[in-house]
Structure formats: C-alpha cells, structure tokens
Amino acid sequence: DFIMEFRALLDGHGLQYGMFGHVDAGVLHVRPALDLCDVEQEKLMHQISDEVVALVAKYGGLMWGEHGKGFRSEYGPAFFGESLFAELRRIKGAFDPGNKMNPGKICTPIDSDDELVKVSDPKRATLDRTIPVAFKETFKPAMDCNGNGLCFNYDTTSPMCPSSKITRDRRHSPKGRAGLIREWLRLLANQGVDHQALMNGQYKTSWLTRWQNTRADIEDFSHEVLEAMNGCLACKSCSSQCPVKVDVPEFRARFLNVYYQRYLRPLKHHLVANVESLTPLMAKLPKVSNALMNNGLAKSLLEKVAGYVDAPPLSVPTLTERSAEVMQTFDLVELEQLD
C-alpha cells in the first residue's frame, strides 16, 4: 500500500522515477528525475519531500534508511519526538559543542541556536544553475560528476586515480577536479566571459601580456585549478572506474587550452610538443647530442628550467648504420630472373 501511494504521489506530479531498495530491511530508495538547476523543479522537490514525510509518518516509517540524512534534518524533530531529539542534541553538544562537524545535519548542540539544514537550502545545483548551458556542454565530463565519491579509493589494487592515492588530497581526485572546474566555470560566467569567444581563442593575449601575467602575483582561481590539473597523469582510469564515467583528462585539456591564453606555457610543454621535430636533428650527431644531454650543467639546467629529467640517450651507432652492416643488398633484376 505504501509503495502504491508513493507511486501515485509521484505520478500526480507527472514525474519519471526509479525505485529500488532492500526488501529484507524494508529500505526503499526513490530517484525522481528532477533537474535541480531549474528553480521551479527545486521548489517541487521540497513540496514532494513534505508530501513523502507525511506519507511515511502515516505508515509509521522513517525518512532515513541509508543516505541523504543531512538535507532531511528539518524533519528530525517530528520523527524522533521532542524527548529523543533533545537527547541527540545533548550528545552532539558533548562531542561537537561548536557545531563544526556537518553543522546543522541531523541535529545541533543542545545549547546552540543554529538552524537545522533544510531541503530548500543551497545545494550544488544552486551554483551550477549559474553556469551557462554552452559551458556545461563543453565541460560535460566535469558537469556529469554526481558526487558519489567512488574515486576516494586508496586501495592499491584499484586503478582508480593514482595521483589521488599518492597525494591523499581530495582536490586531486576526479570528484575534486570536477568540482574545481565547475567553480571555475561559475566564476567565468559571473565575469561575463563569452563561451564561444573563449573556446575560439579570442581572449588570447599577446606574448608580452602573458609573460607579464605569469610573472605578476595575480589572484586568480585558475591557478588553484591548474595545481590540481597538473597532478593528473592522464591515465584515464577515472573514465573507466567512475560509475558516471567522469573523464578528467578531457576537461583538463580544455581547461589548459583556456588557461594558457592568459599565461605562458612552461618550456617543457614546448620541448615535448617539438620532440618529434628535434629528435631527427639530434640523431644526425648522436654522440654530440648524448654528450650534451649527459653534461651535469645541462642536465641540471633542463631539470630546473624545463622540469625535464632522465632523457634517454640516442643510439650509437645509429639504426641506419647498424642496418647497413647486417643487411644484404639485392639486385631486383637478378631476383626476377631466378626460377
């Protein structure tokens, strides 16, 4: 009966939804398809929450099974009752008198005037809705992150995000990097940056301006995003391990393309980009090239200036020279005359 009434409630609002759960524990998970970036649908979510609370109370159930307790905190006093809820607040006050840990979630300290978190309080979508659709589509792999946190995985047998495991800094996780990108996009939108002009490189400044920007101590949130993106190994494990396939290397590349419209690229970027052009030239004089690359001063300079280390030596003798020693030459005419 409860499920039938629940479905009727959602059907009455014309919503599509998914229902699943754990029959043995009597836990029901419901996922209505709501776009919380739409202000009206966010209001509808609060209305539906109130209706569901009344329905659950009618059947003597609880609003908390496993997840989502925090944003339903406003319903706590009614479900727990005045006496039990006061005890919860006393426990909270004993362990967290300053209300620092998940403030407003579940309950507040008994001596605190802080309010409980409400369903209508600001959420991620509150900020995401300020990002223009064009930016969202361009950086879709970042916008797709639903915050499930599976990337907070430090199991050494799992391929998920090696850089996150090493740093143990959540900013360097796929979820953290996606969140930084969304905040960066929001700030761009607030500054009135035109999406098409930005992606077409029309905001690109002159070399001199980029040099000045790079040397100047400019307060720019982009620097924080860059720090997190620089740790990405572009291994793409996130795109296969994340349930929603968040692809950090893809939106990282787009971010870097925009970032270096304002700032100079490091020397190592140019070295790596031109390695296929430089190597054939170096191969013409492999002994000289190896001597230079193995020179202590040159190695130190490359490491400090370009961050380039452990360059492999060129083959001596070269492949062409070695091939000439072992390969036989054939006369095509003679070969054709053979029976």
Going from the C-alpha of 273 to that of each of 161, 242, 294, the distances in angstroms are 25, 30, 22
Query: Residue 299's pLDDT is what?
Result: 84
Is 167 within a domain? yes
Same domain, 153 and 205: yes
Phi, psi of 229 (to 5 degrees): -70, -30
Same domain, 242 and 281: no
The residue from 248, 265, 282 where one domain ends is: 265
Query: Residue 94's pLDDT is what?
Result: 95
Same domain, 150 and 248: yes
Same domain, 302 and 230: no
Same domain, 141 and 208: yes
**151, pLDDT greater than 80:** yes
Give the ranges where the chain is alpha helix by DSSP (H).
Answer: 2-12, 39-58, 76-80, 82-95, 124-128, 133-138, 140-143, 162-167, 174-190, 195-199, 207-215, 221-230, 237-241, 248-259, 267-273, 275-283, 286-294, 296-301, 319-326, 332-337
Is 339 within a domain? no
- Domain with 53 in it: 2-95
Is 108 within a domain? no
The residue from 42, 75, 95 where one domain ends is: 95
Is 285 within a domain? yes
Give 209-266 pLDDT, tens digit per residue. Answer: 999 999 888 889 999 999 999 999 999 999 999 999 999 999 999 999 999 999 999 8
Asked if residues 111 and 93 have their Cβ atoms less than 8 Å apart, the reply is: yes
Is 237 within a domain? yes
Same domain, 256 and 283: no
**339, pLDDT greater than 70:** no
The residue from 45, 78, 95 where one domain ends is: 95
Query: Residue 65's pLDDT is what?
Result: 64
Give the pair of three-digit tokens for residue 167: 């740093």
Give 23-66 pLDDT, tens digit per residue. Answer: 788 888 888 999 888 999 999 999 999 999 999 999 988 887 66
Q: Count up the domains in the chain and report the number.
A: 3
Same domain, 256 and 287: no
Q: Which of 252, 261, 257, 193 is nearest to 225 (CA)?
A: 252
The answer, as to whether pTM is greater than 0.85, is: no
Q: Check residues 191 and 306 and name the one with the higher pLDDT.
A: 191
